[in-house]
Amino acid sequence: SGLLQAMATQSGAALLLAGLLALATIASSNTEGDILYMQRQAWRDPNNVLRSWDPTLFNPCTWLHVTCNSDNSVTRVDLVDAGISGTLIPELGGLKNLQYLELFTNNISGSIPTTLGNLTSLVTLDLYDNLLTGAIPASLANIRTLRFLRLYRNKLSGGIPARLGRLMKLVKLNLEDNMLTGTVPLEVLSLLLVGDLAELNVANNNLAGTGQSSEPRMAVVIQDALKTTG
């Protein structure tokens, strides 16, 4: 009976362990839903497009405008021309498998969270046509998978981070219609030669300097004509 008791204790411990593991799994699969629900609460949503973002569901994969992979991890958030206003929460940087963040043509304000640089699977960051202010985070240079970075038609200020020149896979970089200052860093321009960059649009900013290109490959550089003073 001592043996039986030992076996019972052991299987009890095994059950407890299994239970704890299940709980841990639930907790981790809820994390991304928690982040998105937190983001929902930080936004104004006059058209009620986020009504399916129900935090009591097991994961966010059935929510409208959210796409997951086969592991129930969020890969896309698509909220285009949805009438949304408010800010982007820093916790968004925790959506570790996010590949597409499509939030263009809304009224999103505030700055681009530095933490978005943690989205190291991101392919497309489309935040254009919003009311974003502040600087372009240099941390975006950590996203080596990034192919499309479109931040045009916002109110972004400060310089273009030279570190973005590390984004060798970048195909389109559109920063048109902001309030950016300084010059286009050579590191970024060089992507037209050594990277995949095919289109660089920095027109309608407050940029000084040249950034002219002798059209390497089929690259397009769109920039305001140099202002000559005197």
Ligand X SMILES: *[C@@H]1O[C@H](CO)[C@@H](O)[C@H](O)[C@H]1NC(C)=O
Binding span for ligand X by CB under 6 A among 56-64, 69-77, 114-122, 152-160: 114-122
Choice from 38, 55, 68, 83 touching ligand X (CB under 6 A): 83
Identify whether the C-beta of residue 99 lies closer than 8 Å to the C-beta of residue 73.
no
115 binds ligand X (CB under 6 A): yes
Q: Which residues pair with 111 in a beta bridge?
A: none
Q: How far is the CB of 75 from ligand X (least distance, A)?
A: 18
Among 33, 117, 161, 195, binds ligand X (CB under 6 A): 117
Give the Cα separation of 148 and 31 in Å (integer).
Answer: 27
Alpha-carbon span 68 to 76, nearest angstrom = 7
Distance of alpha carbon 115 from alpha carbon 130, whole angstroms? 19
The piece of 10-18, 25-33, 110-118, 151-159 that touches ligand X (CB under 6 A) is: 110-118
Q: Indicate the residue among 18 and 64 with the shorter CB distance to ligand X.
A: 64
Q: Are 53 and 45 in contact (CB under 8 A)?
A: no
107 is a contact residue toward ligand X (CB under 6 A): yes
For ligand X, the binding residue among 73, 74, 79, 93 (CB under 6 A) is 93
Q: Decide: is 139 part of the binding site for ligand X (CB under 6 A).
A: yes
Cα(89)–Cα(92) distance, rounded to whole angstroms? 6
Cα 105 to Cα 128: distance, rounded to the nearest angstrom:
6
By CB under 6 A, name the binding residues for ligand X: 81, 83, 93, 105-107, 114-115, 117-118, 139
